[in-house]
Amino acid sequence: MTEIVEQKIVSGCKNPFRTFYIAVMHYGVWLLIFLRKEQMQMKLVLAEKPSVAQSIAKVLGAAKREDGYLEGNGYVVSWCVGHLVELAQPEAYDAKYSKWAYADLPIFPMDWRYEVSAGTRKQFGILKKLMAREDVASLVCATDAGREGELIFRLVYHKAGCRKPFERLWISSMEDVAIKEGFENLRSGTEYDALYEAALCRERADWIVGINATRLFSTLYGQTLNVGRVMTPTLAMAVMREAAISAFKPEPFYTVQIGLDGFTASSERYKKKSEAETICNGCSVAIVTKAECKEKTEKPPALYDLTSLQREANRVLGYTAQQTLDYTQNLYEKKLVTYPRTDSRFLTEDMAHSLPDLVKMAFHTFPFPSVDNISIHTEQVVDNKKVTDHHAIIPTKELQKCNLSELPKGELAILQLISNRLCVAVGDPHRYAETIIELDCGGTVFSAKGKTVVQDGWKALVQKNDSTKSDGNVQTLPSVSVGDEMTVSGTEIKEGKTSPPKHFTEDTLLSAMETAGADEMPDEVERKGLGTPATRAGIIEKLVRIGFLERKGDKKTKHLIPTHKGTALVTVMPEQIQSPSMTADWEEKLLLIEKGEYASEDFMDEIKDVIAGLIQNYEVIRDSEVLMSKEANSIGKCPLCGSAVEDKAKAFFCSNRACKFALWKNNRYFASIGKSMTSATAQKLLGSGKIKLKNCKSERTGNTFDATVFMEVSEDGKTKFSMEFENGGKRK
């Protein structure tokens, strides 16, 4: 274009001044074209959910709604729907893997393959087109700021064949100001390559362990036995706990209590009642041998990370870990709390100046009974060294604008817990005087402990149902001196029994997962335990869903009890697969990969070595058929929970009673195309999620056609079918 303009102008030019003018015009035109091109360049922002994308688009000014995205002001904002791209199943590598066979193990893909999820093909297609648009010059990864969020974006980016540069949005709050600041401080996408590497290793390690171990034990024992890298060690802890409870034999014990001047003192425990009776008979006068009074300080509890919030919500409200995560995620997307999937319980120094106003707002939004004002010690919750990717969970300033009456009950309860904990965490320390008195009575040592509150401090703020509630009735001891003689006013023998270990609750199992293997790891290890704060809830829910654990108890307190199937699996499982310490070691190495301090190749080689050794060396447990009941009429695996699907009179039902999946034999969709849900059809659908059908008949026109029917299963067990015709086109 510039050449044409130049030629037209030059044709009439005869002197140097005109030549200079021509040159100026030439570069002017070039500059206009360049500026126009720059103006046309857009940034594609990819969020994890539609609701998050809408919040981001609002801040960026992308107000024009299109199919699957929003556009405007130099931005195109779109979203993923969960994991758009997932690891391919074994049969994608070789057709023989569609049948489970011991001889085909182990399965170690050389080149990993990924597939677009059946239910998200439309949105993936939209994203692929957006990435290919000429006016889209770069991308912004705006998925959740964590390992899984990074994986979701990268897999879509690579599957779409995109090579355009991208930046990373890393925020801990969905408030408008946080989003704005985040876009003003976008980071290079390459800064998170190590995080992506760790996410890939986690995903592929889970695939290798799950696919190979599940097929190994299922083929050897003739039934579907789901095995997972983190899931199985978690189940093993629950099974071991129940075994300890079953084996426990309570033993009686006896203590002697003596009454003195306004208080009681107790002896040590005795196994025989006769010993306690002898001591009672010899008690008349007690001599003080020790009298100590020390002032002690109890610091407020720290702010919540996700695991501590889940534990507290389970104790106080009876919520499952998954419920708490869901409620908190909803609050985050409503801009009322900060990012939930955090393992930190502290805030950063840059937040200190705004913290007092936030505390006051939380205090007035959820007031404490009989407390008019509170002290604010921000230094107690601020520590840069203890904050990793995200800080602790706290309410946001949006709290003051929120109409609390419009929030669902569960979200409101979680919001109050988070707000109350912020007020408590910055409160005054609790101070008390602890008195210990020891006495000699007839040659037996008796002791008494008393407590006098000096300053309530943060405990004045603790709600009645909070797990950090104040101590119960603690006796107040008189002032005594060593050598004082005290008359015994009465004696009493107290009988008790040793207590068995307690059944796991959601609270205590989360705690066990968090600390698993800690005793076997160096103190400097940063992350110990099974799974991460973001994944533990899902692991527990899957164990319940596939029938390995079940919840038993009243409405508020439910115990997690292993089923017969879960116990049987752990019984035949070798130590290396069910070992919490080994799995915790793997979690630590994933964290090191995140930091660029451990080679991903070494991690994957270790996983492969373990699985290869397992397959080579494992021997079937003798008489296992007594332990494990055979699954009758099984036609395949449940796509929702992995349990066996059984052929019953009216439908193909999942054998796991907690699962709602079913394929009804009088299926309306198949009836509408002149087909029926036979056992062979159900097997195909369960195996690959699709089936090719010939000579289907249109209910409307009567014409016949060939097509492939795809099956999608929602989380509530409902099935949805769609169709692709042999000559192209789709029908739902």
Q: Catalytic site residues?
A: 339
C-alpha pair distances (Å), 305 with each of 216, 298, 386, 422, 728: 38, 20, 12, 12, 50
CA distance 537 to 230: 12
CA distance 136 to 76: 8
Q: What is the largest CA-CA distance in the chain?
A: 132
CB atoms within 10 A of CB 621: 16
Residue of 515, 510, 528, 458 lying closest to 303 (CA atoms): 458
C-alpha pair distances (Å), 639 with each of 99, 212, 645, 689: 16, 17, 9, 8
Residue with tokens 């697969």: 577
User: How far apart, in Å, do the first and last CA atoms of the chain sit?
Assistant: 49
Q: Which residues neighbour 396 within 8 Å (Cβ) at sequence distance 6 or greater?
A: 173, 175, 335, 336, 337, 338, 358
CA distance 652 to 648: 6
Residue 174 burial (10 A CB sphere; 0-12, 13-18, 19+): buried
Residue 106 burial (10 A CB sphere; 0-12, 13-18, 19+): middle
Q: Which residues neighbour 303 within 8 Å (Cβ) at sequence distance 6 or greater?
A: 345, 346, 347, 381, 392, 393, 394, 421, 422, 425
What interhelical angle do 306-317 and 506-515 show, nearest 10? 160
Q: Where in 338-489 does DSSP place strands (E)? A: 430-441, 444-455, 485-487
CB atoms within 10 A of CB 20: 11
Cis peptide before 639 (omega within 30 of 0): no
What interhelical angle do 193-221 and 580-594 show, nearest 10? 150
CA distance 538 to 531: 10
CA distance 512 to 238: 10
How many residues would you count in the chain? 732
The H or E element that residue 708 is part of is strand 704-713
The H or E element that residue 609 is part of is helix 600-617
Show the tokens assigned to 458. 């943060």
The H or E element that residue 277 is part of is helix 273-281
Pinpoint the alpha helices (H) of 11-64: 16-40, 50-60
Pinpoint the alpha helices (H) of 624-724: 624-627, 668-672, 679-688
CA distance 568 to 224: 12
Q: Which residues neighbour 28 within 8 Å (Cβ) at sequence distance 6 or greater?
A: none
Partners of 719 in beta bridges: 713
Residue with tokens 């019953």: 648
Is-contact 374 427, C-beta < 8 A? yes
SS3 content of the chain, % helix, strand, coil (to 5): 45, 20, 35
Partners of 645 in beta bridges: 636, 654
